Each structure stands twice: as C-alpha cells, then as structure tokens.
Chain A
Amino acid sequence: MSEPVKVPTMAEMLASGEVPEVLFWVGCAGSFDDRAKKITKAIVKILHKAEVKFAVLGTEEGCTGDPAKRAGNEFLFQMQAMMNIQVLNGYEVKSIVTGCPHCFNTIKNEYPDLGGNYEVLHHTQFIRKLIKDGRLKMKGGGKFKGKRITFHDPCYLGRGNGEYEAPRDLLEKLDAELTEMRRCKSKGLCCGAGGAQMFKEAEPGNKEVNIERTEEALGLKPQVIATGCPFCNTMMTDGVKNAEKEAETAVMDVAELIANAEDL
C-alpha cells in the first residue's frame, strides 16, 4: 500500500527524553497474525493522521495473560501481568490504547489488583475521542458511503465492559447504511473465540459458533461485517469463507474502515 509508517518505541522515547501522550498496546494478534497486523497498521495511520504522540513497547510487550486466565491458569496469567506491569510502571505509563478488547479488558480490569493502574481505552473509544476533540477530521464516508454494514459486538468490549456505542458512533461517520443483527449489543452472540477457545478445537457439537454467528450476519446481506477485535475478525472471516461469500462481504475492523475511508 504505502511506505512503512514510523512506530516509535517507549525505549526510544525515553532515550530521547520524550514522553508519549499514549501507549499503543498492540497485542499478540496485532503483532503476529497477518490479518490482524493490517488492523494494527490502520490504527497507527489514524494515530499519525491525528498527530497523536504515541509509542509501543515493541519487544518489551508480552501477552497480557488473558487466554491463560480464562483457561484457568491463574499462575501464568499473574506472571505475565506482573512482568508487563513492571515494564509499564517502569516507563511511568499513564494512558493506554489497545487494539484488542481482550487486552483492553485485562489491563483495565485485572491489572489494578496487581499494581497496574492506567487509563485504558479500546481503539474505537480512542478514535471516537480524537474525532470529538477535533483532532481527527472525517471528510465523510468515502468509499463506504451508502454501503451496508453490520457490527459484530466483541464480548469483552460489549457485555464485558458495557461499551456498545463507541464502534457504532464511528460507523455512523462513514455515512453507511448501518444494520443490526437480531442478536446485537448486550444480546450479541459470541464469535466462538473467547475463553481461550481460539487456541483449541471446539468441543463436540453440531455446529461451529463462528458459523452460527456469520450466518446471522450474512442474513442481512451486508457488504461489510465490522468488528473491533482481531479474534472476532478471524472467526468471522473464516465463517464468510465457509459460506463462500468473500466476493460479496468483507470482514473489517472499525479502525480499518475509518483509515480506508480517509485514504490513509
């Protein structure tokens, strides 16, 4: 697409005596998963466009421990958490934006008990704030104007933390035709990846959860299924492929929609 964008690390910032406004917590999926990396880059482009002084931890970042905790491995979770908290507190981080609702939930809700207290925002909340503060100006929907979009609520953003509106507020900026699934917001159906299911085969049943959810979304004949979570993205993308609807329906993160609409 375009040339690599500059991504400063906390170590570099510290070396040059600078203090970033916010730490961008990339997360494991955002760092390593090829599809999720595109979401990471979209978030970075938006941060640059809005002239946000940010930094990442880079190689000093480690898994928040979310999948370990949900799977019942509290030891591993707390070891990860304490290592991350040592790093974050070492840099005197105050404010964090995450690219993943699981990292968001874990750092926001579960790190305080272990000595990590930060203001944590999910990227959709942060981008909405940038627009509200006039730092990011949307010129209109761009290529998504009038397109049919449905939003799949990530469990750990929606039910987990009560944030249903931030992603929807952003989608409204696209001048798209927003359409809701029957099971949306607090009644949203999980994509099937949470609780460490992402990393294992599903237990025996008669259907995969992501197929059930994608069928519901595809029933609305959307051009875009929007998500706010790299794991939901994987699950829904697989579901769309399974239904052989890749030509009609794209699965995209809200951050990608905003970045693409602005031709970033």
Chain B
Amino acid sequence: MGISNIVFLIVFVAAVAAFTYQVRKIRRNILLGRDTDRSDRPAERFKTMARVALGQSKMVVRPFAGLMHIFIYVGFVIINIEVLEIIIDGIFGTHRVFAPLGPAYDFLIASFEILAVLVLVACVVFLIRRYAGDIRRFRMKELTGWPKTDAYIILWVEIILMGAFLTMNAADGALQVRNDPHYVQAGSFPVSGLFVPLLANLDSSVLIATERTAWWAHIVGILLFLNYLPISKHFHIILAFPNTYFSNLNDQGKFTNMNRVTDEVKLMMDPDADPYAAPPPAEDNPGVPEKFGAKDVPDLTWKNLMDAYSCTECGRCTAECPANITGKKLSPRKIMMDTRDRMEEIGKNIDKHGKDYDDGKSLLGDYITPEELWACTTCNACVQACPVNISPLEIIVDLRRYLVMEESKSPSELTGMFNNIENNGAPWAFAQADRLKWAEEA
C-alpha cells in the first residue's frame, strides 16, 4: 500500500464520516415532527416508490424536462458502479480492478461513457434553461440568492465530474495504445476514444499525470458532492425514495382527521361526560395540552418535514397553483422552502443552545404569512404536480387550523360562514327549516 492509497483511504473515510454526521442531523430534524403512521400497505408503498421515484412517472408529465432528467438520473445511478471500482482501486492501489470481466467490462465502460455524454447534454440544457430560458418558475422571488446559486452549483459540478471521467478515460485509452505496463488493456471508449488521436503527441508522463489528476478530481469531486447534498436541494436524490414510499395513499381529497378534536366533540355530544375533566396531555410532552393545528415546525408531522428535505425546488407545484397563477402571494414551493429553512434554524439552535431553546420565532408569522395561507383553494394541483409526492397542502391546512382554532384569526367573511354553519347548518344565512323549499318550486 503506497502513500497515495493511505491518502485516499483517509479522504474516503473522512468523507463518509462527515456525510453520516450530516445525515444524522437531518434525521434528527425530521424527527422533530409529530408522529404519523405511514407503515400500512407496504406492498402498495413499494409500488408507489417504484413507479414515482424509480420510474420517474411524474417527471415525464413534462416530457422534455422529464427526458433530460432521466438522462441525469440514470447516468448518476449507473455511473456509480464505476465509483465502486474507483474506490477499490484507490484503497488497494490496483488499476481497473474489474477489467477481468472482459467483454462485460467493455460494455459497462462504453455505457458509462455514453451516459456521461447524455448527462453533459442534459446539464447544459438545464443551465441554458436557467440562465436564458423564459420559465416563470425559475424567475420567482423565492428562487433568488442561495436557491439559485445552489441550482447552478449542482449543474456545474455535474459537468465537471463528467468531464473528469471522460478525460480520465481518454488519457487511459491513449496509454493503453502505447502498451504502458500499468495501463492494462481494458474497457471500450466510444466517446473518449475519439480524443485519443489528439493525445498522440503527448509524452507518456504527461498522459499519466493527466489520467491521475482526472482520476483524483473525479473521486474527490464525488466525495465533496456527497457532502454538499445535505446542505443542498440536491438531497432529493436520496430522499425521493423514502419520501415516495411514505406517500399519502388515500384519495387526495381526504384531509386528515384530528383525533384530539374527535375526543372533545364526542365529550360535548355525550350527555354523561364530565365537563370538568382535564384535557388529555400531549403524547410527547405530558403536562402541556397539544396544540390544535401547527404554528411551528415541531407541530407538523415528520412526513411534512421529510417532504421539506425532499423538495428540489423545481416549482412545478407553484406553476400549477391557481392562486399563484393569478398573482396571489401563495407559492406552494415557498411553503416547502420555508419549512426547511425554519427546520434548519431550529436544528442550529439545538446544536448551539440545547434542546429546549426557544428563539421566539415560528414558521407561521416569521416565514409564512396568513395572506399566503388564505389564498389556497385546496385544489390539490400542487400535490398532483410534485414529482416526489410532496404535499404542501397538508402544511397549509395545518397552519390554517392553528390560526382558526388557537388564535380565532380567520378572514371575517369566514367567521360569518362558520357562524352560519353553526347556527343554521348551512354556510349561508338560510334557515334549516327552508331546506326543502326547492321541492315546492316548479
């Protein structure tokens, strides 16, 4: 084992450890949320995951962007087989350790190269769309600053990684032609092979230096990128799978039932109930009655929070939102981004000040305004549009519940509507006794 292998091992272990550390933080943050049971119907859940995440079924609703995304997605997954070889080579000082696979190896390398080109094409197309395209969802307010930079970083890094991969192969191919003893005859290079003649005049030492530099750039780039994921929207490449597995499997029109309210309403309707009975304590915090609805991130469910970390800010939800289309403040994508930002803020507070620190801020109010919430028509267009089955609607409704039931803050017309339903069983001020009058009118 040479010095370079030791360096590699240290870099590799450090990268994996740092990634694990970051993922554990995300897991902790997600588990700040309330419990919700998503363990039923495992077969249906696997099917949903296979169809939506693995099969990209909702991405291709927009065929062009969907196809480009599939290039990058398939490229990412398949080319990672190559990463396995690189890691083994890196640790043991071998070179192209899978080469004995022979024709199968040639086939693998050839398909990696073709995929690499497709990834490059897709990244360039995506960059053009973002830099120069006239796509409203990429031009909106919530996508300025870091979210915009984040998107560009991801695309440029992918271009650099693919470039390094192809450069490495080109140099390797040129060295193979010269029968360099270290560079075994292995692989088929349909793309980088085209560049081999251009390298014919270079000295072997230059080629070896190029190949080594590209090799290191490729693998170190990947390890750095791995550690970039948890602070980036790009984390969706991991969470897309669990997030679709834990999808809401009910009809989208069904809103969750609040069991705590059911208990109270049953008490109210029960003539034998004890009116002075103390309210049951919250499950996770005995002594404090549970809030009705959500004011802050810990009041949401862990699935809502996983949704927020799974969001890659594509904005398809917002592009379909009737409120947003007609100029209202509501943007379902912003709801998800705010939830994630607030969750990160709470996470940092926990790191710095401990578990029970209260910074006096909340998701509702400091991040999301009532005006945004009251613009929602609950039409489910955002839920339908999301390629990874995120539900901004659940968060919107839970925040509305807090506004209405804890703070009695609803638009005055809605208060009137509530009163009507309560007093005469209809949202308008018509008497219940007149409900059948229509039958008398011809």
**A199 close to B427 (CB less than 8 A):** yes
Which parts of B359-389 form the interface with A (CB within 8 Å)?
Answer: 371, 374-381, 383-384
Residues of A within 8 A of B426 (CB): 28, 31-32, 62-63
Interface 1/0 per residue, A130-172 and B, CB below 8 Å = 0000000000000000000000000110011110000000000
Question: Which A-chain residue is minimally distant from B410 (CB atoms)?
Answer: A71
- Distance in Å from the Cβ of A36 to the closest Cβ of chain B? 9
**B397 close to A59 (CB less than 8 A):** no
**B421 close to A68 (CB less than 8 A):** yes
- Option from B257, B320, B329 in Cβ contact (under 8 Å) with A110: B257
**A202 close to B433 (CB less than 8 A):** no
Tell me whether A123 is interfacial, beta carbon within 8 Å.
Answer: no
Stretch at the interface among B5-13, B185-193, B196-204, B245-253: B245-253
Tell me whether B326 is interfacial, beta carbon within 8 Å.
Answer: yes
User: CA A217 – CA B180 in complex, angstroms?
Assistant: 70
Residues of A within 8 A of B414 (CB): 71, 196, 199-200
Stretch at the interface among A13-21, A77-85, A90-98, A252-260: A77-85
**B328 close to A203 (CB less than 8 A):** yes
**A7 close to B436 (CB less than 8 A):** yes
**A209 close to B377 (CB less than 8 A):** yes
User: CA A44 – CA B433 in complex, angstroms?
Assistant: 20
**B436 close to A205 (CB less than 8 A):** no
User: CA A62 – CA B419 in complex, angstroms?
Assistant: 13
Tell me whether B238 is interfacial, beta carbon within 8 Å.
Answer: no
- Option from A82, A187, A207, A213 in Cβ contact (under 8 Å) with B320: A187
User: CA A74 – CA B398 in complex, angstroms?
Assistant: 10
**A160 close to B326 (CB less than 8 A):** no
User: CA A108 – CA B255 in complex, angstroms?
Assistant: 12
Which parts of B312-340 form the interface with A (CB within 8 Å)?
Answer: 320, 322-323, 325-330
- Option from B329, B400, B430, B432 in Cβ contact (under 8 Å) with A203: B329
- Distance in Å from the Cβ of B60 to the closest Cβ of chain A? 13
**B380 close to A72 (CB less than 8 A):** no
**B438 close to A30 (CB less than 8 A):** yes
Residues of A within 8 A of B254 (CB): 105, 109-110
Question: Which B-chain residue is minimally distant from A38 (CB atoms)?
Answer: B438
Which parts of A40-63 form the interface with B (CB within 8 Å)?
Answer: 40-41, 44, 56, 58-59, 61-63
Residues of A within 8 A of B253 (CB): 105, 109, 155-156, 159-161
**B442 close to A3 (CB less than 8 A):** yes
- Option from B292, B384, B436 in Cβ contact (under 8 Å) with A58: B436
Tell me whether B265 is interfacial, beta carbon within 8 Å.
Answer: yes
User: CA A67 – CA B255 in complex, angstroms?
Assistant: 12
User: CA A123 – CA B163 in complex, angstroms?
Assistant: 59
Residues of A within 8 A of B430 (CB): 28, 31-32
**B265 close to A82 (CB less than 8 A):** yes
Tell me whether A114 is interfacial, beta carbon within 8 Å.
Answer: yes
Tell me whether B194 is interfacial, beta carbon within 8 Å.
Answer: no
- Distance in Å from the Cβ of B300 to the closest Cβ of chain A? 14
- Option from A31, A161, A186, A213 in Cβ contact (under 8 Å) with B438: A31
**B265 close to A78 (CB less than 8 A):** yes
- Distance in Å from the Cβ of A30 to the closest Cβ of chain B? 7
Residues A159 and B384 in contact in the complex (CB < 8 Å), given A7-B436, A70-B255, A209-B322: yes
18 new A-B contacts, CB < 8 A, other than A75-B264, A82-B266, are A31-B434, A31-B435, A31-B437, A31-B438, A59-B432, A59-B436, A72-B404, A74-B261, A79-B269, A108-B251, A109-B250, A155-B253, A155-B379, A159-B380, A196-B417, A203-B323, A204-B327, A205-B327
Ordered by A's residue number, 26 sampled pairs between the chains whose C-beta atoms are within 8 Å are A28-B427, A31-B437, A37-B441, A40-B438, A56-B439, A58-B435, A59-B432, A63-B425, A67-B421, A75-B265, A76-B422, A78-B258, A78-B265, A82-B269, A105-B253, A114-B257, A162-B251, A190-B377, A192-B377, A195-B378, A198-B427, A201-B411, A202-B375, A203-B328, A211-B326, A212-B325
A residues sitting closer than 8 Å to B (CB atoms) are 1-5, 7, 9, 26, 28, 30-32, 37, 40-41, 44, 56, 58-59, 61-63, 65, 67-76, 78-80, 82, 105, 108-110, 113-114, 155-156, 159-162, 186-187, 189-190, 192-209, 211-213
